[in-house]
Structures are given as structure tokens and as C-alpha cells.
Structure 1
Amino acid sequence: MNGPSRRLFLQLGGLAALTAACAPRRKADPATFTLLRRRWREVTLGYPGTFDPEREPYRSRLARLGAQARRHRDTMTPTARSLWPDLPFPSLDATPARLRAMARAYALPGTGLTAEPGLGTAVAAGIEHYVRHVYAEDAEQTGNWWDWQIGTPRALLDAAVLAAAYVTDTQVAALCAAVDAFVPESRLDDYEGNSTGANRVDLCTVTLLRAIAGADPDRAALAVSALSPVFPYVTDGDGFHRDGSFIQHGSVPYQGGYGAVLLTGLATLFAVLRGTPWEITDPAAGTVLDAVDLAFAPFVHDGACMDLVRGRGITRGSYGDHRRGREIAAAVLLLAETAPEAERARWRAMVKGWAVRDTVKPMLTAAAQSDLAFHGRLSAVLDDATVPAAAEPAGHRLFPASARAVHRRLGWCAAVSMASSRVARYEHGNGENLRGWHTGSGMLYWWARGHGDHYSDAFWPTVDPYRLPGTTVSTRRLPDGAGGAWGDTRPPAEWVGGATDGTYAAVGQHLYGLESTLEAFKSWFFLDDTVVCLGAGITCRDGVPVETVVDNRRTGARLTVATGWAHLDGHGGYVVPAGRPLRTLREDRTAAGVTRTYTTLWLDHGVDPDAADYVYHLMPGAGPAETAARAADPGRARVLANTSAQQGIEVPSLGVTAVNFWTGGHAGLLTASGPCAVLVRDLGDGTATVTVADPRRALDELTVTWDRPVAAVTRGHPLLERAETGARLTLTFTAPADHEGASRTIAVRLVVSTA
């Protein structure tokens, strides 16, 4: 049976929102809040509906939860200083978490304590005690605001809702009064500061739980209406951008942190509130559906979320990328339950593909230990023969608003993280990621088959932070947390981004060093089996060597170095023009009690270089013979220019010419009137495409000339003001600055020679 179309879904949402706004206010009856309590349990705990408690692994996992809850109940010893002797107050995280675990054991079947009066009473008494001694309405908020306004109240309210039968009106009133003190209605008045993006969704979730616990229809309505600022696209700062970027903390790309929290929160609220007077019907909420494909899926590779959109979270232990990937997968499957049929089918196939390919930390096995609701939903998808396991999509995605790019080809994937005047070099805060200084200096991540754990297994604590792959850096020593906290590390660079036609790409970064005089121009040209990397104008006066790190792999695999190329067994190949010595190092690095072996390859630009440059090719998954053959064929990817004015290549076998114009000028057959990125593809069938972008977002007009005979423009673009064909193609675009660095593609028919 076919579900509603996407268009109908949004139209009906708009109609419902208008109807709700015009209707007189209605007082919800108690049955509505009974429904919401049941829905909260069903959605967040997954029962009933997603798993059979008599089957494994659910039976064992539920029994363990029951045993844990029994220990918590039996060891609870209320005093003025603690609720459990081993958790002295304020214990803003651990004590509420234990109360919530007890409430879950009460609410779920198969725990041995299901609906057990003694456990329900213990949960209620624990909440009352904690509210009296720690989370009281007149308590002083100390430490991190998040604990008082999101983490602690959510856990306490969750426990109160799940064990509602034993939480008295007096206990509920005291809890609600405390929540109202720290999360007053006015907290949701302004969409700014730490009440944006994922934080706003969390605050709305707390407000809804407070409404459910206190049977308060006004706060339920507030929780939903206050979500509306989250949905519209933004052009600056926190939220979703039209290119698929998601930003939090003003300048940090964060799909793999706050973004995952936001997606989980919204999927939960959509599911809990459906069919109630507060169902989310804002037409702009369609942005969330779009975000699954535009913002999240591009950064999930074989079930793991790429670190370049995880902010300071990259240092939170090994395999954090796989944990975040599971969280995104869980949110997508939950969101699919309330999405139109087309999205539901596509997302289920996508998640199934992620789960099938994640052999490093199998998704289903991990879910059994942490999230039974997700395990049940994922099991249903994996067992459904009508749901195909979608393959990794081939193609290129460029995210100008977050200075990120992701490239997928058969058997490998690569991604680059940059920084600009809009995007932070890195984020640190709360003592996390203090040495992430150079992650925005053009770090080039890549995965070939069998390397799904490359950046997962103790990579961040053990890697040399001055030699991150792909980066060009001054080796000047930096203090921990250099540059300011919470993403306050934006360089002055405006030209950061590039052009892509969805298959290939020309990506560039005007690089400025962190607390350094370093300046450079870096370009990456993403092709079928290669990333061609160019650097130019590398200048520095720090009095120390400057290096470009060709790679730094967490491996002890055999390294072969020959004239013009190198190869790392089981990983890939590197081509460096003859006469440019490639430095190498094999070392064991130890940190946090673990040791890992690294193989580093770099180009040394010397102390205080003046306009130094480099060229190298990265060939993920290539064997030694392929690498040697590429080194012997320099004409396959010919460098047209490599200066601080232009960087470009020509690849005749692919029909590709690509140039990053740092200033206007000429390279190969291309001429541009101003700074821009241009990618031309001769498709080999008498047609071609010309893709342009204004990464600086500064041009009122741009003229691009391709010195190639063109018969006609067959597909234009609203930006295209004028096109001149004939012996050469001249395209004039108006106001490219207004398009946020996005790529625009023009199709043409070539003049076919009859000679």
C-alpha cells in the first residue's frame, strides 16, 4: 500500500498548522496524557511494538537491567549528602541516571521487577529526595548549564513518566517546580545563545516531559511551538544550511554530535506526538526529512560517522565514529516510522546497507548492548527480504557552508576538512580535543576496503597532532587549546570551497596557520581513482620547518618507496614528481595506555619557505603496479597551473579540466574574470558541462571563457545572464555571491569537427 506523497505530507502539515492556530484553545483530557505516557515508553523503550521480550537477546538484556535495578533499589541509602553512598551530591549525571534505569526496569517486561510496587515507590522516593537536596527550585545552578537545564531534568522527568503510577501529586509538583525554575517558559522565548539547534530540541523535549509529568497542556503546546525556529534553513550560524551543512556553536560542523542529538530528539517528538493535539505540523519541518539525505547520510561511511563533523567529540574514546553512526541510524529508522512512504523505503534500505557493511563494530550486536528499541527496529529491517541493502552511493558532495567535502568512488571514500572565516579550524571545550589544532588545515581522510576502523582505534590519542594527513602546517609548538574554545578559531580565509558537478570536484582552501605566519593555497581534485593534491604560495616566517603531510596511516604495513612514487601494502599508492624527495617515518606512538604504529609520509618545505609548492597524487586502494604505472604517465593528470593565482589540472581521459582561480586569470583553456572555481567535463558524446562557483561569496558578476568551439547552450541556469557560443564559449553570471558558494552547472553542445 502506498503512503502519502512528500508534497501531500507537507501540504497537510501546513493546513493542520493553520487550523490549530485559528482554533479556540482546548483543554486536554487526562486520557491524552495517558496516551503520551504510553507513547513515550513505546518510542523510547521500544515496547510494545519493536521486540519480543521472550526472545534473545532481549530476554538476557532485560534480565540484566532488572538485576541492575534491584541493586540500585537495595543499596539506596538516602542522606543529606547522597542517595547512594558511592555517588556524593550533586552527582548531576550518575544519580538521575540510576533512577532512570530503575524506572526502565519498572516499565519494561522481563526484568523481574515489571510494575513491581516496591521498585516504583523507590523511584518516586529517589526523585523526591534528589529534588529536595540537589535539584530544588531554589538551588544555585553551578557548573555546566547543560546539566541543570537538559541532562538532569530530562533523566528525572523520564523516570517520573515511566513510573508515574507511584509518583505522587506532591512529588510531581516539587519536580515540576524545580524544572520550571531552571527551564522557565521564558527560556524558549529567544532563539539565540545556547537555545539553538540541538540545544533547543533538548529544551523542548524537557518541556514536553514536564508537560506530560504535570499533565500541563500549555507547556505541551509551548514545547511544540518553540521547535519552529529549528526548522527553517539558515544562511549563517547554527542550524541546517541548504547545502546540507549543519552548524552548532556558531561555526562548528556537527552532524556527528549535536546534529545527531537533534535528529534523535525530533524523530522521538514526531513519533510521541503523532495523533495528539500537539502533533508537529509546521510545514518547515520538512527540512528534517531533507536533512537525512542531504546532511547526515553523506557523512556516514559503512555505518560510521566521519570525524570531520564530530567537533570536540572525536577524543571521546575509541570507536566513537561507529557509536555516532549507530545513533544516526537509530534516529533515521525512528523518523521513518512517521515519514512518507518514499522516504521510509529509501531510509530503511540505506540503514540496512550501513549495518551490513559495518563489520568493525557490527551494528546489531552493539545495539543489543545499548538500545533495545533500535535493536528491534534494525532487526526488522535486516530480516525483511523486501528491503534491499543500499550500496554506498558514488559521487561527490561539497558543503561550502561547513568547509567540508566528501567523495565516493567504487571501493573507496575520501573527505577533506577545512576552515574559513565562517568555519572554525577546530573545537575544544570542557577539556576535550585540546590538540585538534590542525584538523581544519586540509586534513584528508580516506577509507579503502577493509579500513573501517582506521580513525576509530585509538587514532586521536596516539596520532602526531602536527602531522595529520593532508595538512600543511608550521611545526611551531602550540599550547593545548590554542586559539580559543568552542570554535573561536576562525581564520580570515574567504576562498574556501570549490566546484562540483556531483561526480568530480575542484576543492580549495586559502590556508592560514593557527598562531602562525603560515599562508598557503591548497587544492584537491577528486577523480575516479585519484585525488590530485596541489599546494602553492606556501610562505611562513615562524623560524621552524613547514611540512605537507602526504599521509599518516595507523599501520605497520610494508612501505615501498621508489623514484616518483610510494606504496603502502593493503592501503594505497602515492605519486610524487621525481626530484621532490618524499620523507618517511615508521614509529610507535603511545598515549592513554595504548600503543599504535604509524607510517608517515611528508614533504619538507624547509624553514621559513617563500612561495613553496607541492604536487602529489593519492590513490586509495591502488596496488604497487598501478601506482608505478601512474607515476610513469604524468600526462594523465597534467598540472595546468600551481601558483597563488591559479591551481588547475587537465585529465584528457576523463574529459576533465578543473581550475581554482584564487584571482582572475588564465589556466589551460579556461579564463575567469575573478576568483572562482571552474570544472569542465567533455562527456565524449558531443556535449559538455561547465560548473562554476564563487567560494568567496563576493562576486557581483563573473565571466568564464572556455577556449573550445561550442554550438549552443542546452541547459542554462538563472544565474546565467549571457552566453556567447562559436569559436569559444563565454558565460557571464550575475550575482553569484548570493548563492552561498554553491556550484552551478551549464550544459552545452560542442562543435564536432568534420575533419
Structure 2
Amino acid sequence: MPHLSRRQALSLIPGAGLLAAVAAAPARAAAIDHARLLANTVAIFAGTSDVNARPEVAGKLATIVSTARQRLTAMAQAGSGELFAGLALGTDDVNLRLAYQYLYEIALATRTPGSALDGDAAARQRVADGLRWLHERYFGDQAAGYYGNWHNWEIGIPTHVSRTLVLLPEELRGDLTATYIASMDAYLRNGKNGDVDLDSRFHTGANLADITANRILQGALTADDARVTKAVADQATVFATIDPYRLEHGNTDGYYRDGSFIQHHSVAYTGSYGRSLLTRVVQTLKMLEGVTSGGQDLPAVVQRWVTDGFAPLIFEGWMMEIVKGRAVSRTSSGYTDIGVVVEAIADLADHVEDALPLKKYLRFLPAADTAAFVSPVSIARYAAIRADASVPAADLNPPARCVAFNAMDRTVHRRPGYAFALARSSERISKYEYMSGENLMPWFQGDGAYYLYLAGEDQREVFGVDYYTAVSPYRLAGVTAPVEERRTVPELYGRLWYENPGHPLNFTSSSESQNTYVYFPRAGNAFSGGATLGAYGVAGMVQSDDAAYTAKQAGLLPDDFVAYRNARATKSWFMFDDEIVVLAAGVSGQGGRDVVTTVDSRIAAPGDAVALTGEQWDGRAWQPGAAVAPRWLRYANGTRGTAVGYAFLTRQPVSAGLETVTRSRRVVRTSNPDTSITKNVFTAAIGGDVPAFAYALVPNATERALRAYAGGPVSVLANDRHVQAVRHKGLGIVACNVFTDGPREVERLLVDGPAAVIVRSSGGRTTVALSDPTMKRERVSVVVRGPRLRTVTADEGVTVRRVPGGTLIRATTHQAYGRSFTATLD
């Protein structure tokens, strides 16, 4: 699959001739079939007569009609100053956005073939009157508008307005189109002269795709070739692969070579904003079909997003938590999250040269709930693919896969029985995301928090919003946290953000300082990354303070701004077939505070048959509550038939037990329903004065398998803040992270750090993988001691030569952004 620069993207999007004209001379832009563009758009959202007659679409049509009837009833019951009953307007931007959404939902029903409201003139008139009423009272006055969240004014409301105008008959639109376009341009305050500004930090990634999609429709409504052409050209930039060393417009938001997706400039966001971007660009491909002449090679780029970016993060139909930002606190599940992804893949299959892998994947994934699909056409297309027995079901992931999303500080390790997902952070990537009252207690989500998904399990029972509700934010699995109590942003400041516009940093709700220090602060460490060798991997991170604490210590922040100091730890994760080995060193609470490292936290329904077993180092049975050092522990949910084992490779007390917890989902998100959930919470943790330790997570473990670790399929070779290394005897692997400068001895290896290295010896051959987790080094090298080794294969940028006492493998890591380099030797 191709990696594209912005210039290549502009030459490939459908309508390539049009965009070439834009690049050379906008005045010569090619003519556009605006009627076809509008018809395509109506078909996307309302379906067609043929499609809507299909039985699998009946549920969608029924929902469209019932929703519209509810909105019409609410209009009829509206009181003074209301357009819809119960939706107060004038000071709440969310309610204003909802009012426009409701008008769109009515308009949609009146344009949907087969709908009981199709062609309903009275309903359409209500929509047109409602648009006029809202503009006159709440949208047209620029001085009174633009309160609350910028997104509602620049994206949310314009999206509903633009689509509603497309759905209304031309005679009803009348002067509304010109009136609203003028106002929407004026509200585009983060742009330039009422248009997109590619240098704006607000006009990137999914946000840019949304804005430009709206402007394409606005241009089609007014037969404005230049507006459509400019919007298509602007949206084309999101297809370009982000090159962090050659940024266009200073933008870091988008897809990276390793499959990472970033939004908000530093947040790992495939599972939320990435989904939105995928949906929007595929819709644009459908909108522009037949509208202009030109090639359609860009779908291949989007197909790579699916294969390299989305597929590793979807486990048995569940979107992993590590790429959802603040959306982890929402009540929608990981199964619901992939609905729009599935819809986009089904639509994309109609545009790519080789659709078979996508169709196989759609048949492999659990059946999606098509009620969440946007388009009736997509529902019919998806149903046809699912019913096609000639297409075998097949995952886009190989059975064993280890993916280093180093550009967004994430790692995913997959095996047939489980998936392991790790969230890291660095000076490049945020520790967490909080915003708008969402994800209220996020403090440690990027400090090595991990999630172990077991095959065959209903992930709603073990992860999702209930995991964050029931599990203490200080006890997320994998986290090393100081023993202290922190307060949420609303508790600290009495509002959803920190307000201080008089400070030199100008703290307002959407200011850069708010982003940097409140919403999604980055860490301070450079070392965060790792290497992969085939389906095996190693990752490492040096835990640090966030940007807010560092700035507060430097006197850069106001006195009343609260910043928290973090604990310290140097950590590594070694990912094999049957286990993930975790090493920690230099563990400290800092400032005299105690510190706790959570080995695992898992939740279960109160009625589940949960059992904890274990064994001490002397062979005696371990008992819950015992202050002893276990050799291994096992958590088993007999009701669900799942189990996780913990094999401890060092001796230290481990606190482990079960607790029944009842909390409201509102503790993690202010707008969640005040619904109390009760969970049985299992936690295993290492506390006290234990500066270094090692253990293995063993998915689906039996007690017999856990006892076998006493014999040592895995052994720890080094574990301090300079070097962490393990050997896996059964796999013939030695892997290490070297965190400090200079050469370090690791068994038969001499590693020039900082570096991550994996060496596997098998069948007379040695394979070496190297990477630079700091992303700052010109080259990384390792010497393999022993007889001279001959190069069989080597990646570009890798050199191999004989040196006294061994063989030197050197990788040029300059501007590789953490990528792994491999060489195979005889």
C-alpha cells in the first residue's frame, strides 16, 4: 500500500484533473456536476428506492421515520422560546446543535424513499421554517453566538445545516442557502477569511475532513465550482502520510507510516477521531463518484489505514481502549465503536482494486449492528457481503502479530487466544486526554496501562466504561502510581477547564495553554518505543512527570493552577507467545510518597464464579490476604471460562484480592447517566519499598502451566534503570532495552544504547531487530559475540561487518521515528 505526500495525494483524489487545475491556476478549475454530487449525497443518507425496498434495510427506515415523528411531536409541544419541547436555547450550544440535528432528522425522513414521510410537504415546511426561526433568533447574530465549544459552531451545526439544505427541495431552500452559508463562513473563526486555513491547529485530521465535507455540499448547493474545488483540495491533504520530519503546515494530526493515528497533535486516537476521519473520507469518495473525471487511487491509501491502522486494534469486534482518548468514559461499547468502521469498509470495498481482503474481513468480524450505520445503501451492501458464501471469512491480522505503533506510543500484541494492548507516553505523545467533563480521572492512562483481552469473552463485562468506573484510577492494570488522592478538573476549578485569561499564557477553554497543561499534557521522557521481530516484540518507557508539573516547577503557571508530581519507574514489556514479561526498576513514589504498581485489575459481574489460587515460593498454597511473596497467582472466572495467570520472576509481597464496588458511571464523565454499576473487582499489586521486580502475564493459564515457570522458560538477565533484558529459552530469544548512553553487555550482546534489541537464534540462523525508542539517534548498533556471521538478508539502512570477537549489526535510524530494522545472519 502506498505512503503519500500531500502533493501525491492532491494528484490522486477522484477529480484529479480538477485538483491539478487548483494547484496550477484556480481560475481554470474544471466544471463540476453539482446535481450529481447532490444526488449522491441524498443517496448516502436517504438511500434509494431499490435499496430501501430490501428487507435488511427495513429496520433503518423504521428508525428514520420514528425519530422524525418524535421530533415533529416535540416541535408541536414546544413552549415559548423553544423550537423543540424541553430544549432550552440561548445559552447552551449543545442544545442549539441538537435543535439543528432534529431538523435534519425530520428532513431526512421526508427524502427517504419508502418512508411514510417521504415527500411530506408539511413536514418539509416545518423544517424550512425551523431553519429560518433558529437563524433569526440564535444563529444569525454573530455577536451573541459562538459561546461554549468551538466545534459546535464550526463543525457540528454546519454539518446538520448543510445536509438539511441538501435534503430540502430547492423551492423551500430559497434564500436560506445563501443566508446560512454567509453565517457559517463567519463562524469559521479558526479559519481564514471564512474558509479553511491549513495552518490552523483546528483544521487538521478528522476536523478538517468534517469542515471540508460541509463546504463541498455548500458549494454544490450554490453551483460554486471554486468552493467545491477548494474544499476537495483541502480535504485531500488528510490522505497524506504524516512525515514528522517534514511537516506540512506544522500538522502532526493524521496517519503515520506505522499505522498510528494522532489527533489534537499528540493524542493516540484511532478509535474515535480516526473512525470519524475514515467515515468522512469514504463518504466523500461516494459523494464525488461521477462528479468529475480523474483517477481513484486514493482508496488504496484508505485500505492501508484499515489494514495497518484499524485491524490490529480490533479484537473479536471490540475497539481497544488504548486509542480512544477521552471517549473511554462514554457509555457506548467497543463493539458499537466499530460500527462506523465496518460501514466504511463495506463502502470502501466498492472503490478499491482488490476488495477481496476487505470482504473477507467483514465476514470474519462478528455481525455488526447495522442500526448504527449512517447509510441505507451501506446496510444493503454490507448484508450482501455477509451473505456471500463464496467469500471465505478471514482476519486482516495474521494469527500471531506484534505491532509497534511507536508514532503514537502504543503497542498491540496478538495471539489466537488473546490480545495485549499497551499505552505509553513521551515528550511526543500525551499521557491522557481529558476534556469537556469527559474522562475525569485519566491521570495514569498513558503510564504503561495495559489491557489483556481474552478470546471468547464479552468485553463489555471486563472493559469499557464500567472498567474505568469500578477500578480505581490509581490501580489501572500495569500502572505505577504514587499513593495520593487527586482531584478532577471540575473539583479543582469549579468548571470544565482552568480559566485565567489574564495570565500571559491566556488560559481559556480552547487555548493552546489549556491543551498543553490541562486537556492532554505530554510526558517529559524521550525513551518510549520498542522493536518487533516477526510476531515478537519488546517495548520500553521511562516514566516521567507531565508537562504541567514541569512547567509549574519552573514558575511558568499561575499560583492557583494545580499540577501533580508523578511516580518514577523504568519499565519494559517483552511479548512472546504464551506470556508477556514485565520488568520494572527504579520504582519510587518521589517526595517521600509510597508507590504501588498494579499487576492487574479485572472486573466481573457480582454473580460470576471467580476464584483466586496461587502458590508460595516454598510450594505451599497461597491464600488471599496473606502478606507473602507468591511464585504465581491465577485469576479464574468460572462463569465465563476465562483465566489469567501471573508468574512472578522475583520475590516480593503481592497484595491480591476481590472487592465489590458500586459506583455511578458519572464519576468518569459528567454527562453520563447517573447509573450505578456493581462489579467484583480483582486487583493484584506490588507496593512498599520494592524498587525492582519482574513478572509474567500468562493469558488463559492453567495452574500446571504456571508451575512450569519455576523451571524457567523465561529468565531475567538484567533489571535496573540502565538495562532490562530477558531470555526466552524455548524461543531462542534474547531481548533488551538499554535506556542509557554507551555500550552495555547483555549476555552475548554488546548494545550501544539507548536502543531496543531482539535477537533470535533458530535453525542455525540469527535474526536481529533494532530500534531507537528515543527517535533521536543517527544509528543504533549491537555486537553479537562469537563466530563470524554472514548476512542472509538485511533491511535497507542496515550494515553487517566483522569486528574483533563478533559481528557488528548497525542500523541507520536517522529520521526512522522508532521503526525496527532487521537482519538475518548465518
- The TM-score normalised by the length of structure 1 is 0.90
Residue 322 of structure 1 and its aligned partner are, at CA, apart by 1.8
- Kindly provide the amino acid, as one letter, of the partner of residue 676 in structure 1: A
Give 2:576's match in structure 1, choosing from 513, 527, 536: 527
The answer to which of 81-90 and 14-23 deviates more is 14-23
Residue 562 of structure 1 and its aligned partner are, at CA, apart by 1.4
Counterpart of 1:246? 261
Residue 518 of structure 1 and its aligned partner are, at CA, apart by 2.2
CA distance 1:427–1:64, change in 2 (3 Å): closer
Counterpart of 2:702? 623
* Secondary structure class of the residue paired with 1:87: coil
> 1:220–1:278: 8 Å Cα contact kept in structure 2?
no
1:604 and 2:687 aligned: yes
1:558 and 2:611 aligned: yes
CA distance 1:382–1:708, change in 2 (3 Å): farther
CA distance 1:114–1:522, change in 2 (3 Å): same
1:345 and 2:356 aligned: yes
Give 2:643's match in structure 1, choosing from 549, 556, 571: 571
Counterpart of 1:260? 275
CA distance 1:80–1:175, change in 2 (3 Å): farther
> 2:432–2:521: 8 Å Cα contact kept in structure 1?
yes
> 1:252–1:487: 8 Å Cα contact kept in structure 2?
no
> 2:737–2:757: 8 Å Cα contact kept in structure 1?
yes
**Hey, what's the Cα distance between the residues in 1 that align with 2:254 and 2:807?**
39
**Hey, what's the Cα distance between the residues in 2 that align with 1:230 and 1:486?**
27
> 1:176–1:214: 8 Å Cα contact kept in structure 2?
no
- The TM-score normalised by the length of structure 2 is 0.82
**Hey, what's the Cα distance between the residues in 1 that align with 2:70 and 2:13?**
47
> 1:709–1:725: 8 Å Cα contact kept in structure 2?
no
Residue 209 of structure 1 and its aligned partner are, at CA, apart by 1.9
- Kindly provide the amino acid, as one letter, of the partner of residue 301 in structure 1: F
Residue 605 of structure 1 and its aligned partner are, at CA, apart by 3.2
State the aligned residue count: 721
> 1:154–1:209: 8 Å Cα contact kept in structure 2?
no
Q: For each residue in 1:84-127, what CA deviation from the matched residue of structure 2 results, as whole angstroms up to 9, or x when unmatched? A: 23222242222111111111111112321111222222222221
Residue 311 of structure 1 and its aligned partner are, at CA, apart by 0.3
Q: For each residue in 1:35-88, what CA deviation from the matched residue of structure 2 results, as whole angstroms up to 9, or x when unmatched? A: 122100222344356x443525x3354234324323433552588722123222
1:743 and 2:823 aligned: no
- Kindly provide the amino acid, as one letter, of the partner of residue 351 in structure 1: L
1:293 and 2:307 aligned: yes
Counterpart of 2:339? 326
**Hey, what's the Cα distance between the residues in 2 that align with 1:285 and 1:375?**
20
> 1:722–1:731: 8 Å Cα contact kept in structure 2?
yes
Counterpart of 1:364? 369
**Hey, what's the Cα distance between the residues in 2 that align with 1:9 and 1:175?**
31
> 1:507–1:525: 8 Å Cα contact kept in structure 2?
yes
Residue 211 of structure 1 and its aligned partner are, at CA, apart by 1.5
CA distance 1:74–1:496, change in 2 (3 Å): closer
Counterpart of 2:411? 405
* Secondary structure class of the residue paired with 1:134: helix
**Hey, what's the Cα distance between the residues in 2 that align with 1:332 and 1:54?**
21
Residue 395 of structure 1 and its aligned partner are, at CA, apart by 1.0
- Kindly provide the amino acid, as one letter, of the partner of residue 442 in structure 1: G
CA distance 1:485–1:79, change in 2 (3 Å): farther
* Secondary structure class of the residue paired with 2:474: coil
* Secondary structure class of the residue paired with 1:647: strand
**Hey, what's the Cα distance between the residues in 2 that align with 1:165 and 1:709?**
81
**Hey, what's the Cα distance between the residues in 2 that align with 1:338 and 1:294?**
18
Residue 706 of structure 1 and its aligned partner are, at CA, apart by 1.0
Counterpart of 1:234? 242
Q: For each residue in 1:437-458, what CA deviation from the matched residue of structure 2 results, as whole angstroms up to 9, or x when unmatched? A: 1111101111112333321262
Counterpart of 1:390? 394
1:478 and 2:486 aligned: yes
Counterpart of 1:431? 437
Counterpart of 1:586? 658
Q: For each residue in 1:155-180, what CA deviation from the matched residue of structure 2 results, as whole angstroms up to 9, or x when unmatched? A: 12211111234523222222222222
Residue 716 of structure 1 and its aligned partner are, at CA, apart by 2.1
Counterpart mapping for 1:22-421 below 5 A: 25=28, 28=31, 32-48=33-49, 51-53=51-53, 55=55, 58-76=57-75, 81-90=81-90, 91-136=95-140, 138=142, 139-183=144-188, 186-236=194-244, 237-277=252-292, 287-319=301-333, 321-340=334-353, 342=354, 344-356=355-367, 363-364=368-369, 366-367=371-372, 372-391=376-395, 392-393=397-398, 394-421=400-427
* Secondary structure class of the residue paired with 1:243: coil
1:492 and 2:524 aligned: yes
Counterpart mapping for 1:690-709 below 5 A: 690-709=768-787
Specify which structure has the bigger relative contact order, considering alpha-carbon pairs within 8 angstroms and separated by 6 or more residues: 2
Counterpart of 2:669? none
> 2:585–2:692: 8 Å Cα contact kept in structure 1?
yes
> 1:510–1:520: 8 Å Cα contact kept in structure 2?
yes
**Hey, what's the Cα distance between the residues in 2 that align with 1:717 and 1:725?**
20
Residue 578 of structure 1 and its aligned partner are, at CA, apart by 6.2
**Hey, what's the Cα distance between the residues in 2 that align with 1:401 and 1:116?**
51
- Kindly provide the amino acid, as one letter, of the partner of residue 92 in structure 1: L
Counterpart of 2:533? 501
> 1:267–1:334: 8 Å Cα contact kept in structure 2?
yes
Counterpart of 2:496? none
Counterpart of 1:753? none
Residue 373 of structure 1 and its aligned partner are, at CA, apart by 4.3
Residue 143 of structure 1 and its aligned partner are, at CA, apart by 1.1
Residue 204 of structure 1 and its aligned partner are, at CA, apart by 0.2
The answer to which of 170-179 and 561-570 deviates more is 170-179
Q: For each residue in 1:169-212, what CA deviation from the matched residue of structure 2 results, as whole angstroms up to 9, or x when unmatched? A: 22222222222222376431333311111111111011112112
Calculate percent identity across the aligned residue pairs.
28
CA distance 1:46–1:285, change in 2 (3 Å): same
C-alpha RMSD of the superposition: 2.7
Counterpart mapping for 1:530-549 below 5 A: 530-549=579-598
Gaps of 5+ in 2: 245-251, 493-513, 547-563, 617-630, 637-641, 665-675
**Hey, what's the Cα distance between the residues in 2 that align with 1:180 and 1:11?**
27
- Kindly provide the amino acid, as one letter, of the partner of residue 471 in structure 1: V
* Secondary structure class of the residue paired with 1:187: coil
**Hey, what's the Cα distance between the residues in 2 that align with 1:297 and 1:486?**
31
CA distance 1:461–1:70, change in 2 (3 Å): same
CA distance 1:439–1:353, change in 2 (3 Å): same
CA distance 1:486–1:212, change in 2 (3 Å): farther
CA distance 1:614–1:278, change in 2 (3 Å): farther
Q: For each residue in 1:272-317, what CA deviation from the matched residue of structure 2 results, as whole angstroms up to 9, or x when unmatched? A: 1022138786x77754332121222211111121111000010011
Residue 401 of structure 1 and its aligned partner are, at CA, apart by 1.1
Q: For each residue in 1:480-513, what CA deviation from the matched residue of structure 2 results, as whole angstroms up to 9, or x when unmatched? A: 1499666542121111101102310111011125
> 1:724–1:730: 8 Å Cα contact kept in structure 2?
yes
**Hey, what's the Cα distance between the residues in 1 that align with 2:28 and 2:11?**
23
**Hey, what's the Cα distance between the residues in 2 that align with 1:506 and 1:148?**
44
CA distance 1:613–1:373, change in 2 (3 Å): farther
Residue 665 of structure 1 and its aligned partner are, at CA, apart by 0.6
- Kindly provide the amino acid, as one letter, of the partner of residue 476 in structure 1: E
Residue 422 of structure 1 and its aligned partner are, at CA, apart by 0.4
Counterpart mapping for 1:643-658 below 5 A: 643-658=720-735
> 1:449–1:621: 8 Å Cα contact kept in structure 2?
no
**Hey, what's the Cα distance between the residues in 2 that align with 1:719 and 1:60?**
55
